[in-house]
Amino acid sequence: MKKIAVFPGDGIGPEITAAACGVLETVAELAGMEIDLQQGLVGGAALDVHGDPLPDESLQLALGADAVLLGAVGGPKWDGHPPRQRPEQGLLRLRKGLDLYANLRPAQIFPQLLDASPLRPELVRDVDILVVRELTGDIYFGTPRGVEIQNGLRRGYNTMVYDENEIGRIARAAFEAARGRKRKVCSVDKANVLETTRLWREVVTEVAGEFPDVALEHMYVDNAAMQLIRCPAQFDVILTGNMFGDILSDEASQLTGSIGMLPSASLGNGRGMYEPIHGSAPDIAGRDLANPLATVLSVSMMLRHSLAAAVWADRVEDAVRAVLDRGLRTADIASPGVASIGTRAMGESVVAALQQGEWA
Ligand code: NAD
């Protein structure tokens, strides 16, 4: 029996997780997999009930689960709260509590949605990138940090720091991921200027020795930012630290042009949390307008990385392709003037495609 903790969260969260859970339940039924879905509160929903964006019972639920599915958190209702009482704190504490150090964000172009990209179709047609971003270290967490007055001037400072273990484990995650893809890792750093990333390059090169079947190249972050626009199809797996990964993964996601299609996984020490990359979209919440496919594709990542069901992960992706092939679109991915369907109908269409065995 696999225990899945489900945190719908706020805004469109409940609608998109309901659709994704329908897909997961269908896969379990077809695959003869026993699953137990247990819902918990996080974000604004938890603040409203418990006065805490991550109550202990939610953290315990996540810690006891084989995998976590999360919708999204946040919304204007809680925007005025003090920093520790904000919904986003619940999400950050959940990631930290589970020690999820590897963030995997695929940016894949569905040919049916080529027109949604801000780049020309011929540039993005073959894009299939996986950004592997370190999530628990780097300048975001390094100390000392602060703002102080020195010689009468305000001065701000942060510390970029990685030890070799932190670099080694994220590098291994990237090389492992590459083995299931085109076996190419591009490690992004700024080794020409920053000592921390010089160590990064050294350790990544050492780890590459454990993966002789995967090709490694190194690229400076400024060049990587440029290459992602100039020739994005050259990349397979991009491996990078927390800050560079934050920026490059957002850049890569925009190549696809459709935020409602992009899933993510955060992994560490045998645990995994899966969530769409978008937020809680309060502007369309509760109106059956949200695109649930990013969350459905997050379920696909869960099947691959936490539930040892890669075949079914592929089948979920195939079912999504089949639904798009049929011309079914939620409003965010529909061309102007073309009719669209709602969140629920989109989820049900993927379920139907799975039931009809619409995979390659
Ligand atoms: P957002 O991603 O929620 O929305 C940006 C735009 O994209 C909106 O127009 C929205 O309607 C649209 N959109 C997003 N997801 C969609 C979907 N599945 N289908 C169709 N359209 C979709 O970002 P925002 O507006 O900057 O933030 C709204 C709230 O979400 C804020 O409170 C923010 O803090 C929070 N947020 C949460 C997460 C998370 O939970 N991981 C991530 C980002 C933002």
Site to substitute for ligand 1 among 16, 256, 278, 330, most atoms within 8 A of C-beta: 278
Final residue in a domain of this structure, among 196, 228, 255: 255
Closest CA to 202 of 189, 184, 221: 189
Q: pLDDT tens for residues 117-166?
A: 889 999 999 999 999 999 999 998 899 999 999 999 999 999 999 999 99
Q: pLDDT tens for residues 28-75?
A: 999 999 999 999 999 999 999 999 999 999 999 999 999 999 999 999
Pair 157, 245 in one domain: yes
Does residue 108 sit within a domain?
A: no
Final residue in a domain of this structure, among 255, 290, 313: 255
Report how far ligand 1's centroid is from the alpha carbon of 279 (Å): 3
| Residues belonging to the active site | 140, 190, 222, 246, 250
CA 97 to chain centre: 17
Which atom from ligand 1 is nearest to the alpha carbon of 343? 19
Pair 79, 140 in one domain: no
Closest CA to 245 of 194, 313, 180, 174: 174
Q: Which value, to the nearest 10 degrees, does the dihedral of the CA atoms of residues 301, 302, 305, 306 take? A: 180
Q: Would you say residue 102 has pLDDT above 80?
A: yes
Q: Which residues line ligand 1 (CB under 6 A)?
A: 12, 16, 72-75, 88, 91, 259-260, 275, 278-284, 290-291, 294, 332
Phi and psi torsions of 268, nearest 5°: 175, 135
What pLDDT was estimated at residue 115?
A: 84
Range of the domain at 311: 1-101+269-360
Pair 59, 141 in one domain: no
Report how far ligand 1's centroid is from the alpha carbon of 292 (Å): 13
Does residue 291 sit within a domain?
A: yes
Predicted TM-score (pTM) of this structure: 0.91
The total number of structural domains in the chain stands at 2
Q: Would you say residue 268 has pLDDT above 90?
A: yes
Does residue 263 sit within a domain?
A: no
CATH number of the domain at 35, please: 3.40.718.10
Report how far ligand 1's centroid is from the alpha carbon of 260 (Å): 9
Report how far ligand 1's centroid is from the alpha carbon of 280 (Å): 4
